[in-house]
């Protein structure tokens, strides 16, 4: 059973639904998907919203190991994504040597804002935390107390591990940054990430790979 936690922001509810559909439609094994909704995490996440926080799930993602009982493995991903492959292939990349596995981007955005005029803040290891395979037992440092008091950089730069050697690599195909990474055939991409803004926002309706997102939405809505 593959356990997946997806960041949830009510402004991008359709993104969560289409992403969930894209995962289930291609999965060869059962998948459990849980949205990280702040309305359901009032007892676990009480920190105030930070002015530079662009989504509701900027910090809640780091509750994944706690919500998993610090056992087994779990996957976290942002909601502004689209699965083009069997998630089992990603799950098969789990490596017990590591506490967490990510695509190690060198993402240096030049714009000051992104979707809905939210701030675009450059920092080291940016977007590494947008897809994380958690080896939950090795992530006990992510206690409720720590997640609520740590700074954004402490969390997103994995300073809670105190050792970057515990961060394993995932192939770039598992977190392809749309309109930032080189344009590739869809067959060379497993997980699309509309990190600047997805086609469900008017300003990004013609972004790269938008046709694939629209096609997935239409398949999700089809009944007959």
The per-residue pLDDT for 108 is: 72
Mean pLDDT across the chain = 92
67-87 average pLDDT score: 98
145-166 average pLDDT score: 95
**What is the DSSP code string of 12-41?**
GHHHHHHHHHHHHHH-SS-EEEEEE-GGG-
**What is the DSSP code string of 120-151?**
----TTTTGGGEEEEEGGGGTT--HHHHHHS-
Indicate the pLDDT class of residue 196, thresholds 50, 70 and 90: confident
CATH number of 2-221: 3.90.550
pTM passes above 0.75: yes
Indicate the pLDDT class of residue 57, thresholds 50, 70 and 90: confident
User: Residue ranges of the domains in the chain?
Assistant: 2-221
For the cut 70, the answer to whether the pLDDT of residue 210 exceeds it is yes
Task: Measure the CA–CA gap between 60 and 148, rounded to whole angstroms.
Answer: 9
Indicate the pLDDT class of residue 104, thresholds 50, 70 and 90: very high
Indicate the pLDDT class of residue 55, thresholds 50, 70 and 90: confident
Q: Where are the alpha helices (DSSP H) in the chain?
A: 13-26, 64-67, 87-91, 144-149, 152-156, 210-221
Do residues 39 and 57 make contact, with C-beta atoms less than 8 angstroms apart?
Answer: no
User: Which of 27-36, 43-52, 97-106, 183-192 is the least confident region?
Assistant: 43-52
188-211 average pLDDT score: 95
């Amino acid at each position: 059973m593959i356990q997946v936690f997806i960041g949830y922001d009510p402004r991008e509810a359709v993104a969560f639904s289409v992403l969930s559909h894209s995962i289930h439609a291609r999965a060869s094994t059962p998948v459990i998907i849980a949205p990280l909704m702040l309305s359901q995490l009032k007892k676990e996440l009480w920190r105030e919203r930070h002015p530079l926080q662009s989504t509701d799930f900027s910090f809640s993602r780091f509750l994944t190991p706690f919500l998993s009982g610090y056992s087994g493995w779990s996957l976290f991903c942002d909601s502004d994504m689209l699965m083009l492959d069997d998630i089992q292939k990603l799950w098969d990349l789990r490596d017990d040597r590591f506490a967490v596995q990510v695509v190690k981007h060198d993402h240096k955005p030049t714009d000051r804002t992104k979707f809905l005029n939210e701030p675009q803040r450059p920092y080291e290891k940016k977007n590494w935390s947008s897809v994380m395979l958690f080896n939950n037992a090795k992530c006990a440092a992510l206690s409720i107390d720590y997640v609520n008091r740590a700074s954004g950089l402490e969390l997103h730069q994995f300073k809670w591990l105190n050792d970057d050697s515990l961060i394993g690599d995932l192939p770039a195909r598992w977190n392809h940054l749309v309109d930032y990474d080189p344009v590739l055939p869809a067959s060379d991409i497993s997980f699309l990430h509309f990190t600047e803004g997805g086609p469900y926002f008017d300003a990004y309706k013609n972004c790269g790979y938008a046709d694939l997102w629209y096609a997935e939405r239409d398949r999700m809505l089809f009944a007959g």
